[in-house]
Amino acid sequence: MRIATWNVNSLKARSDAVERWLERAQPDVLLMQETKLADSEAPELPFRMAGYELVHHGEGRWNGVAIATKVGATDIVTNFGDGPVRDSGAGATVAVGEDDFDPFDEARMVSAVCGGIRFVSLYAPNGRVVGSPFYEGKLRWFERVRRWLDESASPDEPLVIGGDLNATPTDADVWDPVAAHGGTHVSPPEREALARLREWGLVDAYRLAAGDAPGRFSWWDYRAGMFHRNEGMRIDLLYVTKPVAERIVWAEIDREARKGPPIPSDHAPVVVDLDERGVPFEAGWDGALSRIAARTRPRKASVG
């Protein structure tokens, strides 16, 4: 079984790219985030034509999570089972302000049992600025994830939590921990929130299979050529319980999927294979990292 997670940064805008990637990588289960669609707009027909059932939980212009599965979907849960989220409407144009920000009033969690494994697609709040109401809401949201695990799951059962968690587990998951120090995604409370998920009984599937794999990230800002300099972060994660971890045979981050044209998502898919390798694809890391190293290698001082 091949599983993957990808923040598509608008399923409508990236529909062609997603369809091409499904054909290229052929995942059995794809977790998606930031679909930016209401449920009524979810493109079920194109996915069905590609052989997938689509489970979607959205609110309109913001957020949105989904699961595309070739192996069926049962026992669907949204919003941690806490009831419906606010429907912002497909045409909503006003972002939520600090005074009324509530991460539990947004479409950030969907779960289903697919092929005997419970999958959970998560889209963590960004946090914006450390110490802001958005940041505090982010930490509360992570607490809700952990509480849902305590209440509804067992580390002895097959479970995959995947998505854009908007936090890096360690300094190895950011291009420059000194440059990023003091900001969101790298702060100690965010990393402690991830650690509490692992303490519950989850394993970082990518690290388990790929080892240290330095310089491999899943997100790069659109600005200032950060992708081409590989100034990124690994914030798209697949955390799994032991019964799933024991089946992992391979993992990769598909850097090639981050390229355009047209404008791609600012995230790359993270892929993990269980039991046996899926169809091969070239992720593009070896050539990219050697070119980046050559461009950034200090020049020798001239003599004379």
Looking at the chain, the whole-number percentage of residues with pLDDT higher than 90 is 82
Q: What does the pLDDT average to over 23-45?
A: 97
**Residues pairing with 274 in the sheet:** 248
Whether the pLDDT of residue 97 is over 90: the answer is no
* DSSP 8-class letter at 170: S
C-alpha torsion angle, residues 285, 211, 70, 235 (rounded to 10): -70
pLDDT value for 302: 32
* Distance from C-alpha of 162 to C-alpha of 152, rounded to nearest angstrom: 17
More confident residue, 293 or 60: 60
Q: What's the pLDDT tens digit per position in 109-125?
A: 999 999 999 999 999 99
300 exposure class (CB count in 10 Å sphere: 0-12, 13-18, 19+): exposed
Q: Which residue has the tokens 């993270």?
A: 270
69 close to 112: Cβ distance less than 8 angstroms: yes
Give the 3-state secondary structure of residue 22. helix
pLDDT category at 98 given cuts 50, 70, 90 is: low
Q: What's the pLDDT tens digit per position in 164-190?
A: 999 999 999 999 999 999 899 999 999
* Distance from C-alpha of 143 to C-alpha of 166, rounded to nearest angstrom: 14
Helical spans, DSSP H, in the chain: 15-25, 44-49, 133-152, 177-180, 188-201, 205-210, 242-245, 285-296
pLDDT value for 105: 85
72 close to 115: Cβ distance less than 8 angstroms: yes
Q: What does the pLDDT average to over 202-212?
A: 97
What are 281's two structure tokens?
Answer: 């694809």
Whether the pLDDT of residue 86 is over 80: the answer is no
Q: What does the pLDDT average to over 58-74?
A: 95
148 close to 202: Cβ distance less than 8 angstroms: no
Whether the pLDDT of residue 294 is over 80: the answer is no
**Residues pairing with 32 in the sheet:** 6, 66
* Distance from C-alpha of 85 to C-alpha of 106, rounded to nearest angstrom: 5
Residue 84 CA, chain-centre distance (Å), reads: 22
Residue 19 CA, chain-centre distance (Å), reads: 18
Cβ-based neighbours of 279, under 8 Å, separated by 6 or more: 2, 25, 26
Q: What's the pLDDT tens digit per position in 265-293?
A: 999 999 999 999 999 999 999 888 787 77
pLDDT category at 295 given cuts 50, 70, 90 is: low
Q: Count each helix (H run) and each strand (E run) in the chain, helices first.
A: 8, 14
**Residues pairing with 109 in the sheet:** 122
* Distance from C-alpha of 205 to C-alpha of 271, rounded to nearest angstrom: 9
- Superfamily covering domain 2-296: Endonuclease/exonuclease/phosphatase (3.60.10.10)
Output the pTM of the full model. 0.92
pLDDT category at 104 given cuts 50, 70, 90 is: confident
Q: What's the pLDDT tens digit per position in 209-251?
A: 999 988 999 999 998 899 999 999 999 999 999 999 999 999 9
158 close to 164: Cβ distance less than 8 angstroms: no
162 close to 119: Cβ distance less than 8 angstroms: yes
Whether the pLDDT of residue 106 is over 60: the answer is yes
